[in-house]
Amino acid sequence: MIRRILVANRGEIARRVFRTCRVLGIATVAVHSDADATAPFVAEADTTIRLPGSAPADTYLRGDLIIEAARAAGADAIHPGYGFLSETAAFAVAVEAAGLTWIGPTPASIATMGSKVDAKRVMAAAGVPVLEVDLATVTAADLPLLVKASAGGGGRGMRIVESLDLLAEQIAQAEAEAASAFGDGTVFAEPYLPTARHVEVQVLADTHGTVWVLGDRDCSIQRRHQKVVEEAPAPYLPDQTRTALHAFARAAAQAAGYRGAGTVEFLVDQDQIFFLEMNTRLQVEHPVTECVTGLDLVALQIAVAEGKPLPGEAPAISGHAIEVRLYAEDPAAGFAPQTGRIRIFDVPEHPGVRVDSAIEAGSDVGVHYDAMLAKIIACADDRDTAIRMLGDTLRRVRLHGITTNLDLLRAVLADKEFVAGRMHTTLLDERLDLWTGGDDPRRLAKAAMAAAIGQATQTAAAAPVLTRIPPAWRNAASQPRQRTYRRGQQQYAVTYTSIGRRLTSDFVAGVDVIDARGNQVVLSDGPIRETYRVTVAGTAVDVDGPSGSVGFELIPTFVDPAETVAHGSLLAPMPAAITAVAVDVGAVVSKGDPIVVLEAMKMQHTVTAPADGTVTALTASVGRQVVAGAVLAVISAVSVVSAAEEDR
């Protein structure tokens, strides 16, 4: 019987496992890097142990340190969560060799399924259809291709190849990213099916020969081949297709000699089904399966690890569940990772909504780990209700301090294609401009107006002197007061005045200030009254209104000249580590040439020349950590001189 579990992971999955352990009466142990010392999951464990190491991203990959920590804490079992060492067979072997219980599949299953190349061979032998392309004999007829990392997933080490001329370059980039993320640069290729659906099947097997198939999930809404929205069951699948998927998943689990919780992933292209991979661990999206089965998959993982048989038949699927992943990234800037401190994080409580979160107000988000902050899940009797419930919850989420994909998630749930169930793996790419560019200008202008009125009110209330003077009052009225805010590339110069001890503004036509006190501002837009909550933190002003949250940055009246940068400067789009520098000072470059390669949250980003020119300054160097906005290089534009001018 297991009494104390060490979770060899971090963030929301560590908190998720701890939650089940508390229900089962099992003591918990958290391990953490220095970067995670104050993270919520650390505070929730019964015992915590620091993992030494100068590189925070590597500490959770040190299996020897984790096993040593388990022994020191008196743990008798290790749960690997997902990511990091969860699919590393050597770690599972070491755990069992240390006399600890491994809460996961057998090392042999992990090894076989951990290599996507070997996994495809085993699946083909078991009669499961697979996609295959031999990189050594690729021709134009095989295009487009998807190059993938053999040892990992999550979109890392993946490249789409549409031209044979770019094949070698794309393979090299995929190998580099795979080596960085998984410690193994092996890649392979398969036909790229951009309009297929990504459907997966949850399996659970015990050590007594029982295999449960626990329904399916659609995970087709993806960015950079990484899942964003998942739901169970997969909507609008023909019964014949669903039955075949479940049969193939069962065959896959049996062929792998599987034990514990796992996921078999497929591409569904009309009536064709192709095996993608088998994830030998708990999946990020497991909550939607828990919602429609009523099971606790972590509790069942623990029971299987203790040698208990699965109780009878697998439960029937009931209802519908949808999960969205909240990422620290900017969808409008190529999904660039974002860092910073969470000022506010509040998800309204609802009996049908579940939140699995890595963060809380005050949490710091750094560059070392995956960009996922939290998962928000809605469970309902049917899909339409789940969509409506989750959409309303996202509208009322308050999240400030860092740029996220929250607005994108709201747009996805409101999109007619998603609502109709017409999803495929490139739908997000096809509709990205619509989903990121559809913010109502009037909504944003009203939020900016509320920001200015609310900030003026709070500033006056906090004044240590002349407290009886109303906000924005002048003894000789001349020009109105003004506050200027920035949101992305857009600026809002909001003017306002004090009339009869009441603030007023004509910034938005037809909108009047009804009331402003404390952190609340009430505006009227015609016959409609709207209440906004304004929170000020330094130069950041957060506004929560009836249509969701908006964050602004107050632009100072006077700008320090030292904060300006030279024309032609290439700036880091995100906090990151520099992994490659492709040029030297004096190099002549063409538009689109790679200049610097950055890595953040295990993803690589290439900064290219914006125009033809000459590199006149270079501050980037391999290994250097840079903040967002740091100058990497300066490129002076090429001046075109005519032959006649040269003769002069």
pLDDT band at residue 478 under the 50/70/90 scheme: low
Residue of higher predicted confidence among 290 and 57: 290
Give all strands (DSSP E) within 239-292, no chain letters. Answer: 260-269, 272-279
Query: Which strands form 594-600's sheet, in the order they lie side by side?
Result: 603-608, 594-600, 576-581, 625-626
pLDDT digits (tens, 9 = 90+) for 241-279: 999 999 999 999 999 999 999 999 999 998 899 999 999
Q: Which of 104-108, 305-309, 544-548, 570-574 has the lowest mean pLDDT?
A: 570-574
pLDDT for 331: 92
**DSSP one-letter string for 92-132:** HHHHHHTTPEE-SS-HHHHHHHHSHHHHHHHHHHTT--B--
Arithmetic mean of pLDDT, 119-139: 88
pLDDT digits (tens, 9 = 90+) for 490-522: 899 999 998 877 899 999 999 999 999 999 999
Backbone angles phi and psi of 402, in degrees to 5: -155, 145
Distance CA 409, CA 386 (A): 14
pLDDT for 184: 80
Burial of 478 (0-12, 13-18, 19+ CB in 10 A): exposed
pLDDT digits (tens, 9 = 90+) for 556-591: 876 555 555 677 788 888 778 888 899 888 888 888
pLDDT over 80 at 238, yes or no: yes
pLDDT for 175: 83
pLDDT band at residue 611 under the 50/70/90 scheme: confident
pLDDT for 146: 85
pLDDT for 647: 42
Distance CA 170, CA 339 (A): 28
Distance CA 516, CA 452 (A): 11
Arithmetic mean of pLDDT, 146-164: 78
pLDDT over 90 at 101, yes or no: yes
Distance CA 250, CA 211 (A): 7
Distance CA 249, CA 216 (A): 10
pLDDT band at residue 648 under the 50/70/90 scheme: very low
Mean pLDDT of the chain: 90
Handedness of CA 306, 307, 309, 310 (dihedral sign): positive
pLDDT over 80 at 643, yes or no: no
Q: Which helix (H) or strand (E) holds 543?
A: strand 540-545
Residue of higher predicted confidence among 572 and 393: 393
Task: Read off the tokens for 278.
Answer: 């088998």
Distance of CA 369 to the CA centre of its chain: 10
pLDDT for 627: 77
Q: Which of 7-21, 367-381, 439-453, 592-606 has the lowest mean pLDDT?
A: 592-606
pLDDT over 80 at 110, yes or no: yes
Distance CA 368, CA 58 (A): 9
Q: Which of 11-25, 415-429, 463-477, 591-605 has the lowest mean pLDDT?
A: 463-477
The number of C-alpha atoms within 13 Å of 12 and in the hemisphere containing its C-beta is: 24
CB-based contact 176:168 (threshold 8 Å): no
- Report the percentage of the chain scoring pLDDT > 70: 93
Distance CA 216, CA 77 (A): 29
In the block, residue with structure tokens 């501002």: 521
pLDDT band at residue 167 under the 50/70/90 scheme: confident
Backbone angles phi and psi of 530, in degrees to 5: -130, 135
pLDDT for 567: 75
Burial of 599 (0-12, 13-18, 19+ CB in 10 A): buried
Helices (H), 415-510: 416-419, 427-437, 441-461
Distance CA 532, CA 522 (A): 6
pLDDT band at residue 472 under the 50/70/90 scheme: low
Distance CA 552, CA 543 (A): 8
Distance CA 417, CA 46 (A): 46
In the block, residue with structure tokens 């065959």: 251
pTM of the model: 0.83
CA distances from 185 to 119, 173, 177, 181 (A): 17, 10, 8, 9
pLDDT digits (tens, 9 = 90+) for 318-349: 999 999 999 999 998 889 899 999 999 999 99
pLDDT for 179: 80
